[in-house]
A and B are shown apart, each in its own frame.
Chain A
């Protein structure tokens, strides 16, 4: 099946994805739940409604590409790839463990993964390369990318932003997970990012800001992107740790799983009650 015609309810899928994120990081005793939970609706929408992909043929040359530039948010991507049938969901139990397929940061030998990432600020440049290749070859596939707000501290994000606008890459659609938190704390306290929509617009991008937890707004943003020229930036306002009360807006859960069974059950209950 190629992407767009799944009938399952997106809210229900997102709940399953969130549970998987919390469980797999708990089982690994390691990983990044916060920035996975903030990006859950974005990736769920892309993989269950939008991307033109084929799990039976993950390297199909004309597929849409997805680049997880914030490469630590593997729990959300791996959970979704498993649910979409790119690999056996049992592999999620090996996440971050020795001799396992599912590395801590995303790597391209995993079925369904287009680009290796993890050192922040590189995936967007990789995405520019993928989108440029489509332009050279006059192919119609699109390149979707997810970058972080903390990641936007990296100068190379802005090198890539200049590049994408200069090359007029209309097939590049980027989501920025604006959850306001990075490893050490709140983004605006660590390094003021300010008006990211305005910044990207001044770099020559089409840019809008949406509620990154609303499927309706994500859908409308993608429709908007189809009618804009040049690279598109969708600033998705999100809540880090979304769905688990004690994780929400809590910088502590950037790179830390739930600490014990009791908290795990509390988290799963929160998600079920969303």
Chain B
């Protein structure tokens, strides 16, 4: 029997879960696809953090550290791509999408460049560095760009699959990763481009989650089951193009949708899901995310608990939603 005090990440839950680094998964996959000589990797003085340094060790002749100049990095990436290079660029999400936004818009997306932006340190789980480094608006910035396709893997295995997908296909792509090791969701490969993955089936309500919140939704669902609530959980690893079919199926079959993400409630997964639902099959949608504030310093999982981005936050929202007559 699961107790409600086990629904916060701390003090125990997060320590009991099997966790793996999505950054290492990225680095390992880069090394693997790097056997292809057309792969070139750029970083802006964060390679030991983003783990592009793993590629650098193996293929120093195709790795370039451009220094702390994210704008220039995006521009150089675009130029390289127009000679047939498959370019990966990495930095923290805050710099790759915020600092360099106009370069991403013009040099990458409008120019239709074959560039893959893989950003780490997204969201609150940056931890101690605080608000200046906690990117909570990047899904909005990147999904708003024509041609850009946007991914948020739920765990390390899905990161490997997505990095391999963006290697095999033509950019532009944005892949959003965390600094923290994240709970393992998958024991086998499951990623399909543009398709939501059903983690658990249910018919009272659907939780559509992305990134770390997928594991939170999975845990919340076990607890809700004990209380007689049958929740469906969808892992939305592709935010753009979004899987409208699965969203509308959930709307028709379960009548209520909760979205959950480590991102602002504005312009992220919640907004994208709401747009689909509102246009075609309006049902009750509520969003769990960061409520239009900046983050702050603290330990990652302390912050996730404080901002309600944990199984407890999901359970509370679900219980509220089940009281609404639909």
Point out residues on A near B: beta carbons under 8 Å: 61, 67, 107-108, 114-119, 121-134, 136-137, 155-156, 159-160, 162-163, 166-167
Contacts and interface: CB of A to CB of B under 8 A. Distances in A.
B107 interface: yes
A80 B76 CA distance: 26
The 6 closest A-B pairs by CB, nearest first: A129-B79, A125-B75, A133-B83, A159-B72, A116-B111, A159-B69
Interface string B78-107: 111111110000000000000000110111
Residue from A107, A122, A123, A136 having most chain B Cβ neighbours under 10 A: A122
B79 A115 contact: yes
B74 interface: yes
Interface stretch (B59-67, B162-170, B174-182, B200-208): B59-67
A133 B85 CA distance: 8
A128 B69 contact: no
A115 B40 CA distance: 19
Nearest to B77: A129
Q: Is the interface of B mostly helix, strand, loop or mixed?
A: helix
B281 interface: no
A122 B69 contact: no
A156 B72 contact: yes
Interface hub of A67, A155, A159, A160 (most chain B Cβ within 10 A): A159
Interface size class on chain B is: 20 to 34
Contacts of B66: 159, 163
Contact of B82 (A107, A122, A125, A130): A130
B120 interface: no
Secondary structure call for the A interface: helix
Given A115-B111, A119-B106, A133-B85, A126 B40 contact: no
A122 B84 CA distance: 19
30 contacts: A61-B84, A67-B79, A114-B82, A115-B82, A116-B112, A117-B106, A121-B71, A122-B102, A122-B103, A122-B107, A124-B75, A125-B75, A127-B79, A128-B79, A129-B80, A129-B82, A129-B83, A131-B79, A132-B76, A133-B40, A133-B80, A136-B40, A136-B61, A136-B85, A156-B103, A159-B69, A159-B72, A163-B66, A163-B72, A166-B67
Given A116-B106, A119-B106, A163-B66, A132 B72 contact: no
B292 to A, nearest CB: 29
A137 B83 contact: yes
B64 to A, nearest CB: 7
Contacts of B40: 133, 136
A121 B75 CA distance: 9
Contacts, number: 108
Contacts of B110: 107, 116
A128 B69 CA distance: 13
A260 B77 CA distance: 44
Nearest to A139: B83
A38 to B, nearest CB: 23
A133 B110 CA distance: 21
A129 B102 CA distance: 17
B111 A125 contact: no
A117 to B, nearest CB: 8
A116 B76 contact: no
A130 B83 contact: yes
A129 B75 contact: yes
B83 A126 contact: no
Given A119-B106, A125-B74, A126-B107, A132 B64 contact: yes
Given A108-B111, A125-B107, A156 B71 contact: yes
A137 to B, nearest CB: 7
Given A122-B106, A134-B83, A167-B64, A162 B78 contact: no
A155 B68 CA distance: 13
